[in-house]
Amino acid sequence: MSNKRPSAPRFRGGRRGMMLVLSSPSGAGKTTLSKRLINLHPDVVLSVSATTRAARPGEIDGEDYFFISKDEFETRIAGDGYYEHAKVFDHYYGTPVGPVEDALSDGRDVVFDIDWQGAQQLAKRAPRDVVRIFILPPSMKLLEDRLRKRGQDSEDVINSRMARAEAEISHWEEYDYVIVNEDFSGALEELEEILRAERLRRTRRPWLRRFVKDLMSERG
Ligand code: 5GP
């Protein structure tokens, strides 16, 4: 009897990537977590947004953002070139479709560091590809301490950031997963567990159909 098994491709080429949307109030550790995840997993990439605002010192075009003109941005909106876009502080920001779609069909997962509004729009546009993860701080006190450490901001600025943080947190129930970032390594572990489990979803493994067909035909 032959013990040759039908081949079961595992990841690249064998599955469609997913869109991992990470939201949190600023200061809850989302950016550090997503950067670490990307460093650990070569098949996970970060979505680079396009914006019409000027690059800040140290920012790199194509890495931090794609810095483009207002005209170009509006042309791309008309051409349905964004999964979602928003106007923030008088500037456009958006998630370009092209690079994300290329990564997904190549079996790579794409991380989005965006707020609840972007998350909602992405989920509406690509419900089967999106996995939404919300990162919570262990306490508001800790969040405030982290925001204070970031710069010498006035009390007013801190208060308005805390109000924004509360507004962001109020959307936590719209997410598939919630991670409380009590300690970094624990939060990272949970994030990796989500990635692992979501990669195993039947719908992300289109080769299973063929695999099962081969299984069924094994006995002739
Ligand atoms: P900043 O100019 O400080 O980099 O970002 C300003 C705001 O724009 C942040 O709240 C950030 O989350 C948001 N933002 C950045 N990229 C995108 C995007 O692609 N879509 C949306 N909706 N918001 C974005």
CA 94 to ligand 1 centroid distance, Å: 8
pLDDT for residue 14 is more than 80: no
Ligand 1 closest atom vs CA 117: 22
Mean pLDDT (the chain) is: 89
Regarding the beta carbon of 23 and ligand 1, being less than 6 Å apart is answered: no
Residues 25-45: tens digit of each pLDDT: 988 989 899 999 999 999 999
Per-residue model confidence (pLDDT) at position 34: 94
Residue 160 CA: distances (Å) to CA of 54, 138, 139, 201, 211: 24, 20, 17, 40, 55
Per-residue model confidence (pLDDT) at position 79: 95
Per-residue model confidence (pLDDT) at position 77: 96
Q: Which amino acid is at 146?
A: R
Give, for ligand 1, the residue of 82, 85, 88 to mutate: max count of ligand atoms closer than 8 Å to Cβ: 88
Regarding the beta carbon of 46 and ligand 1, being less than 6 Å apart is answered: no
Ligand 1 closest atom vs CA 91: 2
By CB atoms closer than 10 A (0-12, 13-18, 19+), residue 144 is: middle
Per-residue model confidence (pLDDT) at position 152: 67
pTM of the model: 0.85
What average pLDDT score do residues 156-177 get?
A: 93
CA 102 to ligand 1 centroid distance, Å: 22
Regarding the beta carbon of 53 and ligand 1, being less than 6 Å apart is answered: yes
Higher per-residue confidence, 133 vs 118:
133
The pairing of beta strand 50-51 with beta strand 91-96: antiparallel
Report the CATH fold assignment for 19-47+108-215. Rossmann fold (3.40.50)
Domain boundaries along the sequence of the chain: 19-47+108-215
Q: In the sheet where 50-51 sits, what is the strand order?
A: 66-67, 50-51, 91-96, 82-88
**Residue nearest (by alpha carbon) to ligand 1 atom 15:** 93
How does residue 10 score in pLDDT terms, banded at 50, 70 and 90?
Answer: very low
pLDDT for residue 154 is more than 80: yes
